[in-house]
């Protein structure tokens, strides 16, 4: 009788698919099982229930025509109670997930500018996860988590962005240096005038110029700005302290 029976072992975090005469019969849990082959029973294969991760790299274009590589990380696993669906319905699970990720990313990112894509990484990941969860549940898989781990612009774009940022920093520093030198030079040439006096005068002038521009624009709604001497003095003090601190570091 022992020769008529075939024993098989199913490891932990794994299930086995049992067939009878080529038709699905049962899902075997971890442990030892007997398969009476004389009655047509056989083992079709094993299915892992462990958490798996797939990193998908997708090239697409943003709304402002910047080519980017979006890297999504998808964590998924087969469901024990739907093991027969997970085993029979998909021949290549990873390729199927990748196809859905491509579809969602290429439908979402082209609607966003580059800066918005960086800021809305979580929203993109959520859109991918919702689509995957809806599609893969029919195949017996659970999507545990989806993350957008990187959005990488084309190398030429990154180099251009770095050059622009460096130019802005140099221009801003030149303005600060020029203003500080002008204030210090004016205070030296005018007897009895200190750098603080000149800086306060410049700040007050800029303050009222700004208020004038806000009031003149036709698109402005009501804007309430503190305009007493104390408010101007506070603003002047904060900016002056920053400029003078910068002069100490040079």
Q: What is the pLDDT of residues 20-53, one digit of tens each?
A: 888 999 999 999 888 887 788 888 999 999 999 9
Listed in sequence order, the residues at least 6 apart from 68 whose beta carbon sits closer than 8 Å to its beta carbon are: 59, 60, 61, 62, 109, 114, 117, 151, 152, 153, 154
Residues 184 and 230 in one domain: yes
pTM greater than the 0.85 cutoff = no
CA–CA distance, 228 with 231 (Å, rounded to integer): 5
Structural domain boundaries enclosing 195 = 157-249
Domain count, the chain: 3
Return the structure tokens found at 24: 């699905």
Among 153, 173, 205, the domain boundary falls at 153
**Percent of the chain with pLDDT strictly greater than 70:** 60
Residues 25 and 116 in one domain: no
Question: At residue 67, what are phi and psi to the nearest 5 degrees?
Answer: -80, 130
Query: What's the pLDDT score for residue 105?
Result: 95
CA distances to 113, 115, 116, 124, 225 from 119, rounded to whole Å, are 10, 6, 5, 10, 31
Residues 90 and 142 in one domain: yes
174 pLDDT higher than 70: no
Query: What's the pLDDT score for residue 22?
Result: 86
Q: Average pLDDT of the chain?
A: 78
pLDDT confidence tier of residue 60, bands split at 50, 70 and 90: very high
Query: What's the pLDDT score for residue 98?
Result: 95
H/E stretch holding 73 reads strand 67-78
Closest CA to 81 of 18, 26, 146: 26
Residues 21 and 85 in one domain: no
Residues 119 and 57 in one domain: yes
Tell me which of 93-102, 151-160, 192-201 is least confident. 192-201
Residues 61 and 149 in one domain: yes
The partner residues of 103 in beta bridges, in order of sequence, read none
Neighbours of 156 (CB within 10 A): 10
Query: What's the pLDDT score for residue 91?
Result: 86
Among 135, 153, 171, the domain boundary falls at 153
pLDDT confidence tier of residue 109, bands split at 50, 70 and 90: very high
Torsion angle, alpha carbons of 190, 194, 198, 201, to 10: -120
Residues 27 and 81 in one domain: no
The partner residues of 137 in beta bridges, in order of sequence, read none
């Amino acid at each position: 009788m022992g020769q008529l029976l075939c024993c098989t072992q199913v490891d932990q975090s794994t299930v086995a698919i049992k067939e009878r005469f080529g038709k699905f019969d049962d899902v075997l849990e971890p442990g030892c099982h007997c398969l009476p082959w004389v009655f047509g029973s056989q083992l079709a294969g094993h299915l892992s229930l462990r958490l798996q991760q797939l990193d998908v790299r997708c090239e697409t274009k943003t709304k402002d025509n910047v080519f980017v590589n979006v890297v999504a990380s998808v964590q998924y696993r087969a469901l024990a109670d739907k093991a027969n669906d997970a085993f029979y319905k998909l021949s290549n699970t990873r390729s199927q997930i990748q196809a859905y990720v491509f579809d969602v990313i290429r439908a979402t990112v082209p609607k966003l500018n580059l800066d918005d894509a960086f800021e809305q990484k979580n929203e993109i990941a959520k859109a991918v996860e919702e689509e995957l969860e809806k599609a893969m549940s029919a195949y017996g898989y659970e999507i545990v988590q989806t993350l957008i781990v990187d959005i990488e612009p084309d190398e030429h774009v990154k180099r251009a962005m770095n050059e622009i940022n460096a130019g802005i920093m140099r221009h801003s520093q030149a303005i600060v240096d020029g203003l500080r030198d002008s204030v210090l030079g004016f205070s030296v040439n005018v007897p009895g005038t200190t750098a603080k006096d000149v800086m306060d005068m410049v700040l007050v002038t800029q303050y009222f110029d700004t208020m004038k521009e806000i009031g003149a624009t036709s698109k402005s709604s009501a804007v309430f700005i503190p305009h007493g001497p104390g408010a101007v003095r506070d603003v002047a003090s904060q900016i002056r302290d920053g400029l003078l601190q910068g002069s100490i570091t040079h």
